[in-house]
Amino acid sequence: PGEESGDRLVPVQPLVLHGELHLSACVLNKRRSRELVHALLLAEDKQGAVSELGSIEYLAVKFRLGEEQGLWGELWDAVETLKASELSGVIEFVRRNMRDLTTWLHSPEALRLS
């Protein structure tokens, strides 16, 4: 119970461990934020990597942790690993949401993600 189906039965790792992302007192899952996309790319889980990189919650957590450079590094790794057609939507999604995420970083209560 509480585990994903698969060979390893790895427990689900939420991005927000405690609280709500738009509140300053929330506890974020730094390990997932820093390691999951890399692990998905190494495992050749293209769908998982694209899904994570294309998630507004994932982008918000990266910004909230000050990991914008890490995000760009992950996107670069994905570009080197995946076909351009698999990533075009993700890259456009990041570009489209960059301004809102930067605004949110300075005032998290202004942009509630639910």
Torsion sign across C-alpha atoms 64, 67, 72, 74: negative
For the segment 4-19, what is each residue's pLDDT rounded down to a tens digit? Answer: 545 555 677 889 898 8
Give the residue extent of every domain in the chain: 16-110
pLDDT at site 9: 59
pLDDT at site 1: 44
For the segment 49-106, what is each residue's pLDDT rounded down to a tens digit? Answer: 999 998 888 988 988 888 988 988 998 899 888 887 788 888 888 788 777 777 766 6
Q: Can you tell me the distance from the alpha carbon of 31 to that of 43, in angstroms, rounded to the nearest whole number?
A: 17
* CA dist list (Å): 6 to 12, 27, 77, 98: 12, 27, 25, 34
DSSP calls for the chain? --B-SSSS-PBP--SEEES-TTSTT-EE-HHHHHHHHHHHHHTT-HHHHHHHHT-HHHHHHHHHTT-HHHHHHHHHHHHHHS-HHHHHHHHHHHHHHHHHHHHHHH-GGGS---
pLDDT at site 3: 47
pLDDT at site 114: 46
